[in-house]
Amino acid sequence: MHRIDTPTAQKDKFGQGKNGFTNGDPATGRRATDLNSDMWDAVQEEVCTVIEAAGIPLSKGEHTQLHAAIGRLI
């Protein structure tokens, strides 16, 4: 996993080296944080790994799989 690292990320939002997101500010010309596939792939795979480690097959229409997986694993 990694924190957002696009050029428009809010640098050090959560402390040194801990970038975050910003909605931008039209008054100052600051752009909102651009999202990239690296960040979303990392989030997707972190979540899917937990679900699959619990022996639950991924299902597009089911939105409680992560909760169920955590319950099984702890």
My answer on whether 30 and 46 are in the same domain is: no
Mean pLDDT of 61-70: 98
My answer on whether 30 and 42 are in the same domain is: no
My answer on whether 24 and 49 are in the same domain is: no
Q: Which amino acid appears at position 69 of this protein?
A: A
Domain that includes residue 66, residue range: 37-73
- Predicted confidence at residue 43, as pLDDT, reads 96
> Is the CB of residue 48 less than 8 Å from the CB of residue 58?
yes
Q: How many domains does the chain have?
A: 2
Q: Given a cut of 90, is residue 1 above it in pLDDT?
A: no
26-55 pLDDT, tens per residue?
Answer: 999 999 999 999 999 999 999 999 999 999
Give every CB contact of residue 72 below 8 A, 6+ residues apart in sequence: 54, 55, 56
Mean pLDDT of 6-30: 97
